[in-house]
Chains A and B, each alone.
Chain A
Amino acid sequence: MRATLSTAAVATAAVFVLASCGSEGEGSGSAASGDLAGEGSGDSCSIEAAVPIGAVLSLTGAAASYGESQQRGLDLAAAELAEKGGVTYDLRIEDDQTDPRQAITLFDQFVSDDVSLIIGPTLSNAAVQADPVAQDAGVPVLGISNTAAGITDIGDYVFRDSLTEQAVIPQTIAKATEEFGLQNVVVMYSNDDAFTESGYEAFAAALEDEGVGVAETITFSKSDTDFRALLTQAQASNPDALVVSALIEAAVPLVTQAREMGIDVPIIGGNGFNNPRLMADAGEAAEGVVVGAAWNSASENPENTAFLEAFEAEYGTQPDQFAAQAYAGLLLVDQAVRTNCAADHDSIKEALGGLENVPTVLGEFSIDENRDAVHPAVVQVVQDGAFAVLE
């Protein structure tokens, strides 16, 4: 009896607490959206207050190299938007230390700061854990590098501008089949890593769709470095190409040893191969490796050439795909804000969902009904030590 009573008391108290939270939240929310509604639309839109945007990136820890690129991309976009005027952004970038728990904490903080939108987090496994926080609070999230399946299934406030491997791989296989007339390939993948395994599944499905025969499927461990025995085995079935889903650590020795053994057929790689270290470390052996990617660094669309130039001028290096996707992400957010000329959560969410054929550095960009990115992937081939478009 006593237990029941105290439970009831706790429940009542909880209701009060929740109610007061709710009213407080609404209060500040409406106050914020009052400031965050502007006049005009599109390019003429002008909002008085700076629109607060939170970004959760991995600036330290294992994924630091990605996070750093993303930070540069975002900073560059923010500077350009500030110059453009009309709508200004208060971009707050925080470091999740490549730790999903830290990402959750930062999401909580941004939600209570009532930011208009959260960009990030860098890694998919952090997104799986942190995005629900924003979803529950009704704050839109834009992933700029999450490629794992199922991220946008978290809820209707979760968007991304990064193409999934499942979107890139079929385009890669289709293009390579057309280009090289593939009929018979050998598939190799490391079966002790979730990302390379899901890459393998996408490859297997795409090869079946294209009607390409798989002579043999060979597995290895992600820590393997001597692939000669496996490659000899692959060579025996005389394939038109090797299809490989591996991380860069394994990709480099695999490619080097394949060439050394006289396997001269194209090697088609998954996202793990999409790394300049492939050319730097494998040298000449990397020639003829085919990789699909979300961003075509050599694209000559005006957005991309301007981006390359601005990035080079600002940082003195070439941007990578992470920088490009981050840069495109903030500009897409700007586009969404200007559509309704309002930066409250629901207008942004609605406008992001309606983005269609927006010219970006990634090409013509749309958001599909699953809130995933739709834009052309690029199929690259290594030529003379650099990625070139396969045509």
Chain B
Amino acid sequence: MQQLLNGIFIGSIYALFAIGFTLVFGILDRLNLAHPAVFAASAFVGIELVERGGLSLWAALPIVFVFGAVLGLLIERLAFRPLKGRADAHFAGLISSIALAGMLIALLQWRYGPDTRRFPAGSFPDTRFEVAGAQVTLVQVVILAVSLALMVGLTYMVTRTRLGRGMRAVAENPTAARVLGVNVDRITAVTFAISSALGAVAGVLFAINVNTAQLGMGSAIELKGLAVIIVGGMGSLPGALIGGLVLGLAEVFAVQYIGSSWRDVIAFGLLFLILLVRPQGLLGARRVREV
């Protein structure tokens, strides 16, 4: 039971990270590799807000959300928009986003140094619950709640609102969308902003969950995020959610039933297997791009 919960908590963070990733990927067909850097940067900024600004953890979250959104706009502006007219725009954007990620990490190192940073002791409420014999902290419950709320909100927005319709129109066919009067540039920018804001919140939640922020934390989760969006089905939001949970649970149960040394082999092996059986991913529809 405890392991099941462990898997769900870590899986929900993977999912939140992957949903931001897959949003840009699914709608714009761009792979934004600066996403992991946003993840790390927001963790550091969140810690600074709590440490210096004296904010509570939960007050810091919305600020980090906004910070992530601004970073997303910057990423779109600097790494993607100038290259969008090129024939190899997808590939060029991928490379320039890596470059931007490198710069972001270097800035973080300049600002915060290479050491691991943590929230000041005592910034977490130490309320604990017992659920069917398993220990759960209030912090974990809130992490899960925030992740789920953001995912549900995002799904609602994409499927029900005007902005969401615009996104889907751009995803379907940018040229046709432009002809129909959709402001493609604005939709693109907003998509990046939302995507990065989600990545930023995932970063802070991850840092809260393990009380650790390292410069390399983004690259550690990057591969997992990519695996999750591919297993879940490219561009599928519910797919990313399920993919994240599957990966989290696979890791945890690999430890329990096989051995800690085999964790990554088992977890990624399982993902590989899923792809062999369902090449389009769990919820991916062939040839039809969803948001």
Contacts and interface: CB of A to CB of B under 8 A. Distances in A.
B176 to A, nearest CB: 45
A252 B119 CA distance: 12
Contacts of B137: 260
A120 interface: no
A226 B121 contact: no
Contacts of B261: 191, 219
A233 interface: yes
Given A220-B260, A230-B255, A283-B121, A252 B220 contact: no
A384 B255 CA distance: 34
Contacts of A228: 6, 9-10
B211 A249 contact: no
Given A225-B212, A226-B10, A232-B3, A262 B217 contact: no
Most B CB within 10 A of own CB, among A257, A281, A284 = A281
A249 B214 contact: yes
B45 to A, nearest CB: 18
Nearest to A257: B210
B116 A249 contact: yes
Contacts of B122: 283
B173 interface: no
Given A223-B220, A229-B255, A262 B210 contact: no
B209 A226 contact: yes
Given A230-B260, A261-B135, A282-B121, A225 B2 contact: no
Contacts of B251: 229
A60 interface: no
B210 A226 contact: yes
Contact of B216 (A220, A223, A261, A284): A223
A262 B212 CA distance: 20
B85 to A, nearest CB: 40
B7 interface: yes
Nearest to A227: B210
A262 B9 CA distance: 18
B7 A252 contact: no
Contacts of B121: 280-284
B97 to A, nearest CB: 23
B242 interface: no
A97 to B, nearest CB: 15
A256 B208 CA distance: 12
Interface string A213-243: 0000011100101101110110100000000
A140 interface: no
A260 B135 contact: yes
Q: Chain B interface mostly helix, strand, loop or mixed? A: helix
A252 B118 contact: yes
Contact of A253 (B2, B210, B252): B210
B183 interface: no
Given A262-B135, A283-B121, A283-B122, A233 B256 contact: yes
A188 to B, nearest CB: 8
A281 B118 contact: yes
A260 B136 CA distance: 9
B91 to A, nearest CB: 29
A260 B220 CA distance: 24
B265 to A, nearest CB: 13
Contact of A219 (B135, B210, B260): B260
Most B CB within 10 A of own CB, among A219, A230, A233, A282 = A233
A230 B256 CA distance: 8
A282 to B, nearest CB: 7
Most B CB within 10 A of own CB, among A229, A260, A282, A284 = A229
Most B CB within 10 A of own CB, among A220, A228, A233 = A228
Contacts of A230: 255, 260
Given A283-B122, A284-B121, A229 B3 contact: yes
A131 to B, nearest CB: 28
Contacts of B128: 260, 262
Given A226-B10, A283-B122, A233 B211 contact: no
A232 B118 contact: no
Interface in B1-50: 2-3, 6-7, 9-10
Contact of A252 (B2, B211, B256): B211
A124 B30 CA distance: 47
B214 A225 contact: yes
A282 B212 CA distance: 10
A125 to B, nearest CB: 19
Contacts of B216: 223
Given A229-B255, A230-B255, A282-B121, A256 B7 contact: no
A262 B129 CA distance: 11
Interface in A94-146: none
A284 B122 CA distance: 9
Contacts of B9: 228
Interface of B: 2-3, 6-7, 9-10, 116, 118, 121-122, 126, 128, 135, 137, 209-212, 214, 216-217, 220, 251-252, 255-256, 260-261
Interchain residue pairs A-B with the least CB separation, the first 3 = A283-B121, A225-B210, A229-B252
20 contacts: A225-B212, A225-B214, A228-B6, A229-B7, A229-B10, A229-B251, A229-B252, A230-B260, A232-B2, A233-B3, A233-B256, A235-B2, A249-B212, A252-B212, A260-B126, A261-B135, A280-B121, A281-B118, A281-B121, A283-B121
Given A218-B260, A252-B116, 19 more contacts: A218-B255, A219-B260, A223-B216, A225-B212, A225-B217, A226-B210, A229-B7, A229-B251, A232-B256, A233-B256, A249-B116, A249-B212, A252-B211, A253-B210, A256-B211, A260-B137, A261-B135, A281-B121, A283-B122
